[in-house]
């Protein structure tokens, strides 16, 4: 099937990228070094399940912050659409535009639907060294929730060899 998605697997180094965060600003994955990152690929702004999923992550913002993680949403929509959608949905985490070339980052992560021209619904949890620690793709009509992401982040928080634990501790 040519529309099958196969997300990059855990233990893979996450591909670097720089995408538009707004019409006038860009965000590079490498700028989020030394902390966990949750990459949330979703089909489109304004799509009901995407709105439900993204507002759920906003509802758990304090849990993500407690674990030192940055949530980043990625879809093929333009940065102007992201700005309006984030404002309406009251999202404070960045939404990045994988717009031109369409779906280039989603393709690198193995989660692009070429026939539909959108990202699949997928989650990746990266550690502070940019190693993928969790990855999964979901049916487009399913909200994956937060349990797998929080479980992975909690495990990273307990990992004494990870860069995340050291980055969070105050100096003694």
pLDDT in tens, 36-50: 999 999 999 999 999
Q: Cα separations (Å) of 35 from 6, 152, 162, 172?
A: 25, 13, 10, 20
Residue 3: predicted pLDDT: 66
Give the separation between CA 45 and CA 28, rounded to whole angstroms.
21
Provide the sign of the torsion angle of the four alpha carbons 122, 55, 48, 143, taken in this order: positive
Query: Comparing C-alpha atoms, which of 21, 167, 1 is closest to residue 92?
Result: 21
Residue 171: predicted pLDDT: 35
Looking at the whole model, is its pTM more than 0.75? yes
CA dihedral 142→59→47→70, nearest 10 degrees, is -90
pLDDT digits (tens, 9 = 90+) for 102-158: 999 999 999 999 999 999 999 999 999 999 999 999 999 999 999 999 999 999 988
Whether domain 18-150 has CATH 3.40.30.10: yes
């Amino acid at each position: 099937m040519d529309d099958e998605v196969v997300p990059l697997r855990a233990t893979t180094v996450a591909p670097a990228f720089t995408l538009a965060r707004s019409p006038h600003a860009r965000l590079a994955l490498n700028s989020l070094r030394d902390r966990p990152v949750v990459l949330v690929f979703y089909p489109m702004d304004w799509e009901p399940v995407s709105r439900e999923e993204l507002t759920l992550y906003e509802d758990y913002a304090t849990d993500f912050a407690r674990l030192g993680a940055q949530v980043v949403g990625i879809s093929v929509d333009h940065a102007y659409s992201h700005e309006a959608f984030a404002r309406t949905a009251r999202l404070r985490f960045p939404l990045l535009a994988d717009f031109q070339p369409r779906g280039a980052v989603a393709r690198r992560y193995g989660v692009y639907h070429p026939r539909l021209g959108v990202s699949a619904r997928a989650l990746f949890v990266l550690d502070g060294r940019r190693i993928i620690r969790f990855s999964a793709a979901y049916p487009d009509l399913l909200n994956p929730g937060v349990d797998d992401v929080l479980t992975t982040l909690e495990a990273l928080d307990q990992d004494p060899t990870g860069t995340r634990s050291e980055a969070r501790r105050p100096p003694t």
